[in-house]
Structure 1
Amino acid sequence: MPPWPKFMRGCIQYRQSLDRQAPGAPVHDKEFNG
């Protein structure tokens, strides 16, 4: 498991790439309670 700052950067980059690929996709804004 990567350290938090590195992990969060990866999440942000992934999320931004999704925004570019599918700007009209529905947003899933529910809290995730594992």
Structure 2
Amino acid sequence: RSSEERHSVAMIELYGADKVRKIWNEWARKNLEE
């Protein structure tokens, strides 16, 4: 769990919070549809 959180923080630092949020929202929507 903690490694996953660190990965998320690294993504936010790389891409910016807004872009990461959009990526996660699109990923979550795909998983919900299946």
Same fold (TM over 0.5): yes
**Segments ≥4 residues shifted beyond 4 Å:** none
Structure number with bigger Rg: 1
TM-score relative to the length of structure 1: 0.57
Identical pairs, percent? 5
TM-score relative to the length of structure 2: 0.57
Match of 1:2 in 2: 15
Structure 1 runs not aligned, ≥5 long: 22-34
Kindly tell me the number of residue pairs found equivalent between the two proteins: 21
Structure 2 runs not aligned, ≥5 long: 1-13
